Structure 1
Amino acid sequence: MLIESRPATDPEIDALVTAQQRELREADGGLDGQATVTHDDIRYLVVVAGGRAIACGGIQALDDGTGELKRMYVRPAYRGRGIARQLLAALEELAFRQGHAVVCLETGTYLPAAIGLYTSCGYEPIPVYGEYVSNPYSVCFAKRLRVPA
């Protein structure tokens, strides 16, 4: 397994984000209804196994000190193997290298596995922010990054 940086324009990133958005629409029963695309200002990491991209996630700057975790996704066939936890750690390292002291994120109340991952990795609930304020299913979390030893 390899974790590597990829541009937002990478076709495998597009395929993973499309699969993520489809799965989210199914999980929330179509409640959100927002179409999401990749953004050039998101720095993506991809997990590659057997030559195939199986997971992705990105960091987007909210301000000088805060990065937002975006598009975290692991293909269903690869879940339960600790891949999301390894990818999250790599994304936190990327955020730190970009100068962010804090990483925040939004997820849905209908995604208990995601909430469990984030809280078990040290993320704490914060008030809903930005574009998510009007979504009653949004929950937000943040984590202060530690300086690497």
Structure 2
Amino acid sequence: MSDLQIRPVRYGSPVAQRLVQAIYADQEERYGSSDGAPVEAMEFDPPDGGFLVAYLSGEAVGCAGWRSHGESEEIAELKRLYCAPAARNRGVASALVAAVEENAREHGRKRMILETGDRQPEAIALYAKLGYADTEHYGFYKDESGVVSMARDL
């Protein structure tokens, strides 16, 4: 997809926050509430994280980020993967995951973990297609029903 560009941005930037709000709206529809896990914008600042936005023909259509997991210098957590409905099934989400993984690898991370929910079957299928497998639950939602935790080595 020659018109796809993926660029780093600050998590607190207006373009990132517009996309994050779209994530929350989707979660509200699926779950009745949006992600309550605590997130600080600075967690996505290098070298401890990164946040990327995908642009198709100049329009911001998706995002994804990573942050360090706990005190680990080797484990990254994938957060805030989103692709606008009009851009879905065009490889944007896969390209975002690949770019986030590369960015995390460049900062010394060797493993990526993530949490999603069982009401996001398309996300689970994407992660499985990209080599992610079930792993033990962790973090904010570890004791919640419906949580799906996945991981893969980078």
TM-score (norm 1): 0.90
Bigger CA drift: 8-17 or 48-57?
Answer: 48-57
- 2:67 partner amino acid: Q
3-state SS, counterpart of residue 20 of structure 2 = helix
Pairing of 1:46-125 with structure 2 (within 5 A): 46-62=53-69, 63-125=72-134
1:45 counterpart residue number: 52
Residue ranges of structure 2 left out of the alignment (5+ in a row): 45-49
Deviation at 1:36, TM superposition (A): 6.4
Deviations 1:49-76 (A, max 9, x none): 2222110000100121100000000011
Aligned length: 144
TM-score (norm 2): 0.87
Deviation at 1:135, TM superposition (A): 1.9
- Which of 109, 130, 137 pairs up with 2:139? 130
- Which of 5, 8, 20 pairs up with 1:5? 8
Q: 1:38 to 1:51 in 2, by over 3 A?
A: farther
Residue ranges of structure 1 left out of the alignment (5+ in a row): none
Identity %: 35
Q: 1:57 to 1:13 in 2, by over 3 A?
A: same
**Inter-partner Cα distance in structure 2 for 1:53 and 1:38:** 22
Question: Considering only aligned residues, what root-mean-square deviation do their CA atoms show, in Å?
Answer: 1.6
Runs of 4+ aligned residues of structure 1 deviating over 3 Å after TM superposition are 35-38
